[in-house]
Amino acid sequence: MTKTQKDDRAAWAARAEALRPQGQALIGGRFVEAASGRSFAALSPIDGRVLTQVAAGDAEDADRAVKSARAAFESGVWAKRPPRARKRTLIRFAELIRAHREELALLETLDMGKPIAMSLAVDVRAAADAIQWSAEAIDKLYDEIAPTEPNVLALIRREPLGVVAAVTPWNFPMIMAAWKIGPALALGNSVILKPAEQSSLTAIRLGGLALEAGIPEGVFNVLPGFGHEAGKALGLHMDVDGAFFTGSTEVGRMFARYSADSNLKKIGLELGGKSPFVVLASSRHLDAAAQSVVDGIFFNQGEMCTASSRLIAEDSIREELMEKVLEKARAYKPGDPLDPETNLGTLVDAAHTRRVLDYIASGEAEGARLALGGGRPAGLSGECYVEPTVFDQARPEMKIAREEIFGPVLTVLAAKDPEEALRLANDSSYGLGAAVWSDDLTTAHRFAAGLRAGVVSVNAYDEDDMTTPFGGYKQSGWGRDKSLHAFEKYAELKTIWMRLR
Ligand code: NAP
Ligand code: MG
């Protein structure tokens, strides 16, 4: 290691020592403890250290947050501001996020273990950009006048839902929040953000920055707490107009039930995936394909809903491709997330690490060939490191080929021809991401049309831009984040008929 790298790592560690993360809820513009007085420890997966105590919000706190959000909404202090005024405030919010990039990146890395270089280059940047993009869109969206007969005027207006809950996961805590709160706030809703218990710290800090940016009290609330308490209370609350969730398919189902069992609130679900990455013999770019699938599964420790977790390779190129995949996978090395050179950090916590290791054990037990990794790396002291792992010669019925592992584990399946590859690709209860590699335009086009997934890449993977919708087919969810389509979730459409006399 060169001297500067060492200094950088030491510098981040020193900054980490000096950090005093805030753990309170933000309700009605004030940072408060949970009404019950209960809290839980925010643990760092890097070394198990307690970063701070976090307020364990429950139904009573959820109710307080909903009341303050409702009052702010009814007052019109935000909802009735001209769109361009909300735009200016939200752009200030995005700029404050950028101004606090190092602090936010450090909180994210300490709290959930992703490499500091990723937190800076991806998480903070994309969160700020998502909020700015939604803000910039809001004074360019026009409502409609319907082409009715001349003696009537039918206005089709987009109106904010009212009180919106956003319940988010721990893998990209700031980005998943920004994809929801950006369009929801831009439209004039009041929002309650419930972050995952493993990653509450950046959400709480975002709450402070939102206040500083001038978002009025009660318009943006942050309610940390456990899913089965705070999350459930928001899902079941009779005065929440919409609940928008990103997380597991299992909890997504609960939100569908919460809605049915309460006020039929609107819901949005961005759920899990087991995304197929298909390489056909008609691709001459096996090097690029190998790099792309490896980045797609090992980026963010594989804790990614669109992770390219199933590689499906046509028989005639499979061996050549596998050599390249293994060579490129070796470039991912578990290391201290505070080291700017690290490209594979820790998993989010010890329980999740055990779950991932259990999946690896099941792959071995079911007879897949372990081609790389398969355990905890030597020489690192924390509990939450897992080696980049590749299973070759898997069969479609194996657990590692069907279930979302949400860790750095790639499962490779063989297909005898493109038809079998497409059948295998679609043989999943999920439908989030998918890729096909082929230099034959007709094949690629037909394949892309045949893939049952919300985000399909041809000769690429995980292209990411705020201008395109993101979300899943099948059990990967309902509705889309990002792009102008995301605004549809947070608005009601009202038709106003006027008879002209
Ligand atoms: P999770 O367990 O489903 O949790 C997500 C959120 O729901 C957390 O805030 C969680 O709070 C809360 N929650 C848990 N149980 C709840 C309940 N009974 N009622 C209400 N809320 C509840 O998911 P995760 O483990 O954080 O994240 C991993 C999952 O997210 C993966 O399946 C992944 O594919 C998915 N994901 C999807 C996307 C996408 O856009 N499609 C993006 C990222 C992640 P607690 O943390 O306190 O339990
Ligand atoms: Mg969880």
- pLDDT digit string (tens) for 296-351? 999 999 999 999 999 999 999 999 999 999 999 999 999 999 999 999 999 999 99
Centre of ligand 2 to C-alpha 203, Å, is 15
Tokens of 12: 């981040």
HSE of 277 in the Cβ direction (CA atoms, 13 Å)?
27
Q: Which ligand is nearest to the CA of 227?
A: 1
- For the cut 80, the answer to whether the pLDDT of residue 3 exceeds it is no
Find out whether the beta carbon of 387 lies less than 6 Å from any atom of ligand 1: no
SS (H, E, C) 49-94: CEEEEEECECHHHHHHHHHHHHHHHHHCCCCCCCHHHHHHHHHHHH
Q: Looking at the annotation, which residues are catalytic?
A: 270, 305
| Burial state string for 397-413 with b = 16 or more CB within 10 A and e = fewer than 16 | ebbbbbbbbbbbbbbbb
Predicted confidence band at 58 (pLDDT cuts at 50, 70, 90)?
very high
Separation of first and last alpha carbons in the chain:
81
**Which residue puts its alpha carbon closest to atom 30 of ligand 1?**
247
Centre of ligand 1 to C-alpha 196, Å, is 7
pTM above 0.95, yes or no: yes
Mean pLDDT of the chain: 97
Q: What letter represents residue 194's amino acid?
A: K
Q: Measured between alpha carbons, how far is 400 from 381 in angstroms, rounded to an integer?
A: 27
Q: Which of 305, 352, 464, 474 best tests ligand 1's pocket when mutated (most atoms within 8 Å of CB)?
A: 305
What's the whole-number mean pLDDT along residues 447-468?
95
**Which residue puts its alpha carbon closest to atom 23 of ligand 1?**
247
Tokens of 135: 């803000």
- For the cut 90, the answer to whether the pLDDT of residue 178 exceeds it is yes
Under 8 Å between Cβ of 305 and 272: yes
Find out whether the beta carbon of 273 lies less than 6 Å from any atom of ligand 1: yes
Q: How many residues does the chain have?
A: 501
Query: Quick one: pLDDT at residue 1?
Result: 43
What's the whole-number mean pLDDT along residues 137-164?
97
Give the position of tokens 């705070």. Answer: 230
Under 8 Å between Cβ of 219 and 78: yes
Predicted confidence band at 4 (pLDDT cuts at 50, 70, 90)?
low
- For the cut 60, the answer to whether the pLDDT of residue 352 exceeds it is yes
Q: Which ligand is nearest to the CA of 251?
A: 1
- For the cut 60, the answer to whether the pLDDT of residue 24 exceeds it is yes
Among 237, 241, 177, CA closest to 210: 177
Provide the 10 A C-beta neighbour count for residue 450.
16
Under 8 Å between Cβ of 391 and 356: no
List pLDDT tens digits, range 388-403: 999 999 999 999 999 9
HSE of 386 in the Cβ direction (CA atoms, 13 Å)?
33
Percent of the chain past pLDDT 90, that is, above it, reads 98
Find out whether the beta carbon of 433 lies less than 6 Å from any atom of ligand 1: no
